[in-house]
A and B are shown apart, each in its own frame.
Chain A
């Protein structure tokens, strides 16, 4: 009964702090970093013209038909 609110509030303040920090860290290292790495990997050896020729050959361009 003694310091009922203070005890509860301290517990919940700590908890909220660590839970939010944990969520942020989880997102950063579970989602954000892999995504940045994926993009870096993809564009490291990216050849735009080769990609364009492949798409053109497949026939998806209206103004650049595959001929």
Chain B
């Protein structure tokens, strides 16, 4: 629904534009913005982009373009490379080359993990109160003894690690 509304807006604008053109007699030509024109793009799956890379050619480059219209065997290697660079920004090798961005990403991740760690340490030291009394040594050992008495997880868990005959942890 939104798309159809946008389309109707565009339609109205283009109709108005063409009416204005007819009314003023080519005095009010709307300049096409750069982003609405076909663009150059370096992509693996677009081997021939819609426009050449260099848009405004210098006089020397214009002369070269004229020479290109003749036989290509007359061009030197440097001229061929120049023509290539005028048409394309990067070669496929340059385009597909990896960057070192992963180092930046990894460094940033580790840095912020470190910052979080510092914050946590500060909190434990300055902010949190004491932990519950059920974490004391006596309580924990009494708790574990009760778990063993109840034979909690006797197949693969805690009671399987205790030797009930010798009354000690299994080696």
Which of A's residues lie within 8 Å of B, judged by CB?
1, 4, 35, 38-39, 42, 51, 54-55, 58-60
Contact = CB atoms under 8 A, between A and B. Distances in A.
10 contacts: A1-B47, A4-B44, A38-B160, A42-B160, A51-B151, A54-B151, A55-B149, A55-B150, A60-B146, A60-B150
Interface of A is mostly: helix
Please give me the 3 A-B residue pairs with the lowest Cβ-Cβ distance, nearest first.
A58-B149, A42-B155, A60-B150
Given A1-B45, A38-B160, A59-B149, 15 more contacts: A1-B47, A4-B44, A4-B45, A35-B156, A39-B155, A42-B155, A42-B160, A51-B151, A54-B164, A55-B149, A55-B150, A58-B150, A60-B146, A60-B149, A60-B150
B28 interface: no
B11 interface: no
Interface residues of B, number: 12
Interface of B is mostly: loop
Interface of B: 44-45, 47, 146, 149-151, 154-156, 160, 164
Nearest to B45: A4
